[in-house]
Amino acid sequence: MLAHTALVLLAGGLLLGITYGLVAAQLPNQVKGSPGCLKQVADAPGTSVPCPGDSGPPADDNKLMAQVAAHTRDQALNALLTQGGMALAATGLAALALAWLIASRLLRPLSRITETAERIAEAPAADRGLHERIALDGPADELKKLADTFDVMLARLDQSFDGQRRFIANASHELRTPLSLNQALIEVVLQRPGTTPEVQQLGETLLDINQRHERLIDGLLLLAQSEREVEERSFVDLADIVEHVVALTPADRAVVTATADEAPTTGNPVLERLVQNLVENGVRYNVPHGGRVHVASGLAPDGSARVRVANTGPVVPRYEIPGLFEPFRRLGTQRLSRRTAGAGLGLSIVRAVARAHGGDVEAEPHEGGGLVVTVTLPPAAAVSAVSAGSAGSLGEAGDAGARGGPPGTGVPGPSYPPLPLRKRFGRSPNASLRT
């Protein structure tokens, strides 16, 4: 738009310059012939010009005639430049306004297409926004064809995502039946009297394999369900979930501690599975002896609810972290370990649940080995009532869990702003839970 206006001004200025040159060439520099009665034609204040019949030196007459001619010529050229410049400026403003009107009208469909694409790209859930359509009205021009093509692409993507989720859900449900039958048959054989030790060991191995398959199917089904946007929400305090999950986590493979500060948000019960997967991954992918996991909940500086899980474990290269959130992907060093019974869906489910709730998840290597995973969720619309007497903070003086993990763990606690005491639990929010 500005470029077209600049071209109009450039063309107008060039035309004005050419006109000025042509007019200047046509106007004479001096008056030829008899001067006549210069008093009647000259506009030279303070100059005495003789009329016909007056006596005077011929040289003075010629000089006065030249002055009058030059003055008249300059006035004409100046008037041409002034009026032409004003006309050019008015034309430029009119061209700018006209170009703005035309451009806004022509680019309105493109703006609509861009806004739709941005809404789909910024959607937190995988399928959120794919149901939108541009549905552009108007003549069948190039923009209408572009919008229709974009709508067709969205429809195919929507069908593809829905088909993928339906297939996973249906396959998971269909596979449950044979696995349940296999488990029942194996248990019947193992309970028979006189079963040999070899058969007993084989049956236990088959049961373990069957349980792994069941966990895989449950993970696939949960992953397919978690990728949908959460429509029905209720008030949830992530601190309650952290306390519940940590209390149920066995302490035979790693010491699990928690700093449960209030983290109000909205969501559904699947948020408990999110925290459970984080804790299970922290325990599973840990050092063989003396492993530790620290779970902390609280508020981010912008008021968002946040859960952070840090664990000891093998060194995780930063470039491998994005791949850990992909389904069936594990850390390369863990492929050699047979003690990990996971299917590689834990962090994938965490990311799907977080995005379905309008949040996100980040991970970074922990100093000395291990991983620090942080899940951020939108804040709740209303915060529950709290006591007005005092407040606690992860950044203030408190026990070891307030400033980080327990002594000697090497697991840092997240730094959150001060939070009020949680009256309903009757304790400081900095209290540590151990299992």
Residue at a domain's end among 65, 92, 121: 121
Whether the CB-CB separation of 396 and 418 falls below 8 Å is answered with yes
- How far from each other are the two terminal CA atoms of the chain, in whole angstroms? 68
User: Are 427 and 313 in the same domain?
Assistant: yes
Q: Does a structural domain hold residue 131?
A: no
Claim to verify: residue 312 and residue 360 sit in the same structural domain: yes
Supply 81's token pair: 């430049």
Shared-domain flag, residues 243 and 340: yes
Same domain? 186 vs 277: no
Q: Is the dihedral of CA 92, 96, 99, 101 positive or negative?
A: negative
pLDDT tens figures, 122-150: 766 555 667 788 888 877 888 888 889 98
Q: For residue 164, tell me if it sits in a domain.
A: yes
CATH number for 165: 1.10.287.130
Asked if 211 and 274 sit in the same domain, the reply is no
- The count of domains in the chain is 3
For residue 150, being part of any structural domain is answered with yes
The residues near 69 (Cβ < 8 Å, ≥ 6 apart) are 28, 29, 30, 31
Q: At what angle do helices 58-121 and 142-190 cross, to 10 degrees?
A: 20
Q: What is the pLDDT of residues 250-276, one digit of tens each?
A: 888 889 999 999 999 998 888 998 999
Stated pTM of the model: 0.53
Contact criterion met (CB below 8 Å) for 261 and 307: no
In CATH, what number is assigned to the domain containing residue 407?
3.30.565.10
Same domain? 331 vs 356:
yes
Do 76 and 112 share a domain, yes or no?
yes
The yes-or-no verdict on residue 245 having pLDDT over 80 is yes
Q: Is residue 133 part of a domain?
A: no
Give the residue with greater pLDDT, 199 vs 58: 199
Do 339 and 428 lie in one domain? The reply is yes
Domain contains 161? yes
- Name, in order, each residue with C-beta under 8 angstroms of 325's C-beta and a sequence gap of 6 or more: 347, 348, 350, 351, 361, 363
pLDDT digit string, tens, across residues 2-46: 776 777 778 877 887 888 787 777 776 655 544 444 444 445 454
Q: Is residue 126 part of a domain?
A: no
Query: Does residue 135 form part of some domain?
Result: no
Q: Which of 171, 193, 226 is the last residue of a domain?
A: 226
Same domain, 178 and 245: no
Torsion sign across C-alpha atoms 416, 418, 423, 426:
positive
Question: Which domain range does residue 264 map to?
Answer: 235-434
Give yes or no: residues 61 and 32 share one domain: yes
Q: Which of 181, 207, 226 is the last residue of a domain?
A: 226
pLDDT tens-digit profile of 341-365? 556 788 888 998 898 888 899 999 9
Choose between 290 and 343: higher pLDDT: 290
Q: Is the pLDDT of residue 291 over 60?
A: yes
**Residue 224 CB contacts under 8 Å (≥ 6 apart), including other chains:** 164, 165, 168, 169, 172
- On whether both 81 and 213 belong to a single domain, the answer is no
63, part of any domain: yes
47 with 162, same domain: the answer is: no
